[in-house]
Amino acid sequence: MSLVDQDTAPAPLANALKGAALIKDEVSRLPDGPGVYRMIGDNDEVLYVGKAKSLKKRVIQYAQGRFHTNRIAHMVDATRSMVFVTTRTEADALLLEINLIKSLKPRFNVLLRDDKSFPEIMIRRDHVAPQLRKHRGAHTIKGDYFGPFASAWAVNRTLNTLQKAFLLRSCSDNVYETRSRPCMLHQIKRCAAPCTGLIGQDDYQALVDQAEAFLRGKSRAVMGQMASEMEAAAEDLEFERAARLRDRIRALASISQETQINPETLEEADVFALHAEGGQACVQVFFFRAGQNWGNRAYFPRVDKSDEDPEVMGAFLGQFYDDKPIPKLILTNVEPAERELLAEAFGMKANRKVEIARPIKGEKRQLVEHALTNAREALGRKMAEGSAQTKLLAGVAEAFGLEAPPERIEVYDNSHIMGTNAVGGMIVAGPEGFQKNQYRKFNIKGTELTPGDDFGMMKEVLRRRFGRMVKEEETGEASSPRPDLVLIDGGAGQISAVMEVMADLGVDDISVVGVAKGPDRDAGLERFHVAGKAQYMLEPKSPVLYYLQRLRDEAHRFAIGTHRIKRSIDMKKNPLDEIDGVGPGRKRALLHAFGSARGVSRATMDDLAKVEGVNQPLAQRIHDFFRKS
């Protein structure tokens, strides 16, 4: 994207103006060309990001006082300054606008939420034996990438089938290079074992080429070739080889049988359907690659009741493809605003033609209608859940004497084994359910803690969490919002320890409740502890009680999962990693020579010095390290 390097700040005069008057003053200095504008409110909050073919003509509309909606009127009234960036073309302006909306998240823009990257399948090409594996993120490794898949489940299912069909390795390079005999995957017929030479390099490359062809949509040709090979093997009385080929063909056929919709006229496309109702919207996305359905996902963008469907669809598509590969064809049930400009901008990013279409008949129309049905049902479920969630939060407020239903609930739990690998977990819930992007983990660092000191661990976690919040509030930052309610896994002792920390930090105005398990840890008999009050129970089988149990169980699940990951990493640590001068290459050579770290520890100085890359001083250092240990 080519931009003119011109980021203009407000003129000094504009600082004394606001709203429509400020905008009118800005217009006098604007060029009659394409660009992007930002409307800034109090405390430098970005209210809105927009783009225009002509900045002058577009921005002056805000100063004329004729607004289609109250929302725009409020936005103009709240404007205290403006920032402009000129671009060479309107398509450049559109791409810049999309990028700014995603990074700044302006209050008055349609905003795509839950913007996680999609998993892909990758065939690595930087190794003599290409590896088949799942991948997320930037394409920094040399290889072929296929996707996106809508979920980890979809990509794992496909990977499992491809391993059965093409027998490509999935192991890491380190495992590959240290194998002396085939692993279990070879024995269950899911790997050709190139690591031990059971398949030649040319034959293995042929399997790689078949897998690539299949993933590029040439499934019929690949299966036809396998069928011919199977018939030839049977005629030559090689029945075992014929049976293996038969199993591989069945594995490929299962991909088509497992996916619900596999269009006959569509090789590569993304299908979008928007359904809006009651000030909320859902966009359902289906991915079709290689003539197969690679899954779907529902999105719920932040919209306003006054937003028109074409505007929502246009904004959604722009933000969706800001960091994702763009297919040749995009099908929608609503023609997005500025469809031709969007297609031009996408073409610039993809370096090829991109078509955006609203089909009116045939199979493509059926696919869009199917996506619309899913969008309508998903939004209905979300609205129903939202209504129930509102009632539950009102019940929580009543149960704990809060002034209003909590917007943000934080739940804390610790996990450890006799004090080792201790971690704290924080989960967040609110009107929209669990907010997993707000979850946090805390590695317990206190050296003065007695192993297993749950009170001390909880105090450390709360001190770090709310100490950071206090500092951010002092500096005007707000990346750690203030909760309305804090739930602690524990009883009176835990509450006493936590309230001590909160008082030290000056945040003892936040409601804190301890959830203690009942006798014999029975669910439904929990006791609730609030500082200064006697413990009490909630009505058995109360929906609010079940909701609080869910929150506690989610915090426990998150904390123990984090603990297990940390423990697993510690168990996998190799003593060789701690020796200065032993990098990945020398570590690999030492393990190859002696079989394990224990074998290295038993080696003599002379044996260590014989290993490639290990000189006499390093051999001495390795020898001394294990003797000291």
The DSSP code sequence of 271-312 is EEEEEEETTEEEEEEEEEETTEEEEEEEE--B--TT--HHHH
Residue carrying the six token digits 């006493």: 496
In this predicted model, what pLDDT tens digit does every residue of 52-65 receive, in sequence order?
A: 999 998 988 888 87
Q: Average pLDDT, stretch 251-259? A: 60
524-542 pLDDT per residue, tens: 678 899 888 888 888 877 8
Comparing 327 with 8, the larger pLDDT belongs to 327
Averaged over 550-561, what is the pLDDT?
Answer: 87
Closest Cα to residue 123, out of 170, 55, 80, 189? 170
For residue 418, what are its two tokens?
């006799």
pLDDT of residue 592: 78
Distance CA 225, CA 453 (A): 65
Q: β-pairing, 409-417 with 355-357?
A: unpaired
Q: What is the 3-state secondary structure (H, E, C) of 477-495?
A: CCCCCCCCEEEEECCHHHH
pLDDT beyond 80 at 252: no
| Pairwise CA distance, residues 487 & 495, whole Å | 10
- Give the model confidence (pLDDT) of 128-137 as tens digits: 899 988 888 8
Residues 309, 311, 313: CA angle, nearest 5 degrees:
70
Q: In this predicted model, which residue has the larger pLDDT, 104 or 599? A: 104
Angle at 514 between CA 511 and CA 515, to 5 degrees: 130
In order of start, what are the domains of the chain with their CATH numbers? 3-104 (3.40.1440.10), 120-258 (no CATH), 269-380 (3.30.420), 409-570 (3.30.420.340), 575-628 (1.10.150.20)
Sign, Cα dihedral of 242, 243, 245, 249: positive
* Alpha-carbon span 315 to 110, nearest angstrom: 6
Strand pairing category for 355-357 and 329-332: parallel
Alpha carbon dihedral 50, 56, 62, 64, in 10-degree steps, equals -170
Structure pTM?
0.61
Write out the two tokens for 85: 């960036």
